[in-house]
Chain A
């Protein structure tokens, strides 16, 4: 039997790949409680990787999509509406399968994009890995959900604020950056916090579906399932992974709460929007 320190050394970085710890995962009767705690905890690194990058990219894209959806031009809002409808109306689980099976069809040698003078060769082999392809699906998905939230906020920016901006002679990008955007964020932030939480929870779906976990390096829930398969005992691994996710959720609430404070710093305290944990559940 391994001691706890040994299993920490062997498994806590194992989710990054074979070279970062023991080559093989613990099997069968060899599994100790510490193995489960550390391997699942190490897998959390990937959850954080997926969530952080998807939220960062998704935030920027969602602002763009929300603005496009809010636009009065049909050629702009129609595609944006279709995008939002497609990704919000279908299960993320199916989206993973669909995009994976589309990505494997891309030629291995890469896609050549003719640019007139030169030809740009895009490497597509990375898209079939969860770390790139799965992340891309998560980004598209969170973009659609966040864009819907931002759109709701854009629609409720007070008329008076916009008129005041006009009176000051602000227009175009200046008006957007100084008035519309901060207001949109302020209104949307409590629900955007929930979106971030549920995006983090849905990172558990990445390896459950089509994307393979190469060298058995997966996220926390992948290992929890692995342990339940090995030990046939759901009462240890699943509570561990649940506890980790509760901690992660609390961390997100704390982090987004700081941003919320900053967004509302000019308001008297009682008027500030409070972040309430209101799950939107599965997607």
Chain B
């Protein structure tokens, strides 16, 4: 990175650290923090969409649809989530390969499960055998996003369902007496107002989502935990930057990173609660109305 980094073994302390912390592997480590943020940025809307669909299904008057919603929410919430995080990507991966196999290779006569192997024809491999490393990583990451969205979608569905029912019933009846259809009343009355009721639950789920991100490591993605283990381990003099076992410092840095993340989002949600309380028929909203007058 810096011009003086050609021979680190003779550098004084601060320059040694400057070079050490900007080595190529460290840059990958820093990029891994970006991966965490990316996962959060992608998963949050995906889980919200999934949860919205789930909540609408729960609300639905069509029997099979509401039963489906209930089954989804209850199954995901009843099983330890870590099981789900590991189960969904591998089961989904096998499901995709199986489906592609049925489509692409209808005349394949051997069984797919041979003993302990899962064998599909070459055209059904996902990702394809000749895919680049980048595509493989993206595929793994996508699987992780789907697993996260499925699990957190169930939690969000539950929260949103409760929030929809918390909007005062009288307002919906008023809307209907003005001649709005059920759909219009939902879109104009319920949807804009439900968020303040959903916010405590959503904030809780967001904190949990943040704390679930290190589990990416278990899915074989080179995330912050992977790099902390890799970089922190003892390095002998064969390496450019020899050092003793520094893992504890790397994990301390991760700990601080996550603490900062949860702290800042707590502040963020505090601000959002105030913002959404404006004009609401709640205690906080009433207080703000009186304060303004």
**Nearest CB on B from A190, distance (A):** 17
Bound state CA distance, A232 and B252, in angstroms?
Answer: 35
Taking Cβ atoms with an 8 Å cutoff, the residues of B that contact A are: 77-83, 86-87, 90-91, 94, 113, 115-118, 155, 204-205, 208, 210-215, 217-218, 225, 228-229, 232, 245, 247-248, 250-252, 254-255, 258-259, 262-263
With CB as the reference atom, state the residue of chain A lying closest to B213: A91
A98 B248 Cβ-Cβ under 8 A: yes
**Nearest CB on B from A278, distance (A):** 9
A232 B118 Cβ-Cβ under 8 A: yes
Q: With A94-B225, A94-B254, A102-B248 in contact, do A231 and B116 touch (Cβ < 8 Å)?
A: yes
A20 within 8 A of B: no
Mark each residue of chain A from 207 to 224: 1 if its CB lies under 8 Å from any CB of chain B, else 0: 010000000000001001
B248 A234 Cβ-Cβ under 8 A: no
**Nearest CB on B from A171, distance (A):** 35
Say whether chain B's binding surface is mostly helix, strand, loop, or mixed. helix
Taking Cβ atoms with an 8 Å cutoff, the residues of A that contact B are: 28-29, 31, 85-86, 89-95, 97-98, 101-102, 104-105, 201-202, 204-205, 208, 221, 224-225, 228, 230-235, 238, 241-242, 245-246, 249, 279-283
Taking CB atoms, residues of chain A closer than 8 Å to B229 are 97
**Nearest CB on B from A251, distance (A):** 14
Q: With A231-B116, A281-B208 in contact, do A94 and B83 touch (Cβ < 8 Å)?
A: no
CB < 8 Å neighbour of A282 from B90, B212, B259: B212
With CB as the reference atom, state the residue of chain A lying closest to B254: A94
**Nearest CB on B from A149, distance (A):** 14
**Nearest CB on A from B273, distance (A):** 18
Taking CB atoms, residues of chain A closer than 8 Å to B87 are 234, 238
Q: With A94-B255, A95-B255 in contact, do A246 and B78 touch (Cβ < 8 Å)?
A: yes
9 sample A-B contacts, Cβ–Cβ < 8 Å, listed by A number: A89-B259, A91-B213, A92-B211, A94-B214, A98-B252, A233-B118, A242-B83, A249-B78, A279-B77
Bound state CA distance, A97 and B252, in angstroms?
Answer: 9
**A-B complex: 3 closest residue pairs judged by Cβ atoms:** A101-B247, A98-B251, A91-B211
B208 A283 Cβ-Cβ under 8 A: yes
